[in-house]
């Protein structure tokens, strides 16, 4: 049977909110609500950092064999404009959300041909049952004083895996 995999925005180590085909909103609050409250500000100098968002795969329908090679990637191009970026890192375990600089890697450098390895520390030999799968992908939006005000165009983050 084909596995059923969801992408959860993690709120604690084991609990999350299903964001499969949904929106993750970066903001100056530590919550999963998609609204216009707690907007990021363009700073007079320096950088404003969103609270981190941690995404993780969750298998709700077990595969008939196993899942391997979990990965995530962007289209390789940011439509956010000058002064706005998204940085990432991967974590073995859940970390407390923060609005301090995580000093991550530019998300838009990761494409289908050079994706983020999402099972490098957890489930390195595959997953055969239900539950959380792979590493935590921690994301953070950055806004510098060169950014323009206004709403941003949504970006897509793709998660993929092999089912063998």
Total structural domains in the chain? Answer: 1
Residue 118 lies inside a defined structural domain of this protein: yes
pLDDT in tens, 108-162: 999 999 999 999 999 888 898 999 999 999 999 999 999 999 999 999 999 999 9
Residue 26 lies inside a defined structural domain of this protein: yes
Residue 134 lies inside a defined structural domain of this protein: yes
Structure-block tokens of residue 110: 């990761």
Q: Which domain holds residue 131?
A: 4-147
Residue 160 lies inside a defined structural domain of this protein: no
CA 11 to chain centre: 13
Q: Which of 136, 133, 138 is nearest to 68 (CA)?
A: 133
Tell me the whole-structure pTM to 2 decimals.
0.95
Residue 161 lies inside a defined structural domain of this protein: no
Residue 125 lies inside a defined structural domain of this protein: yes
pLDDT in tens, 35-75: 999 999 999 999 999 999 999 999 999 888 889 999 999 99
First to last CA, the chain: 11
Residue 107 lies inside a defined structural domain of this protein: yes
* CA separation, residue 124 to residues 60, 83, 128 (Å): 19, 36, 12
Residue 104 lies inside a defined structural domain of this protein: yes
DSSP string, 80-116: S-TTEEEEEEEESS-----SS----EEGGG--GGG-E
């Amino acid at each position: 049977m084909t596995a059923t995999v969801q992408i959860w925005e993690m709120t604690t180590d084991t609990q999350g909110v299903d964001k499969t085909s949904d929106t993750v909103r970066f903001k100056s609050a530590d919550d999963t609500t998609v609204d216009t409250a707690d907007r990021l500000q363009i700073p007079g100098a320096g950088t404003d950092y969103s609270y981190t968002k941690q995404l993780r795969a969750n298998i709700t329908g077990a595969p008939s064999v196993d899942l391997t090679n979990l990965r995530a990637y962007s289209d390789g191009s940011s439509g956010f404009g000058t002064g706005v970026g998204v940085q990432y890192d991967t974590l073995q375990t859940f970390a407390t959300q923060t609005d301090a600089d995580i000093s991550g890697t530019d998300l838009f450098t990761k494409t289908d041909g050079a994706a983020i390895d999402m099972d490098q520390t957890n489930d390195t030999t595959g997953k055969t049952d239900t539950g959380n799968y792979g590493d935590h992908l921690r994301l953070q939006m950055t806004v510098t004083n060169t950014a323009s005000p206004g709403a941003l165009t949504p970006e897509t983050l793709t998660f993929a895996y092999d089912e063998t």
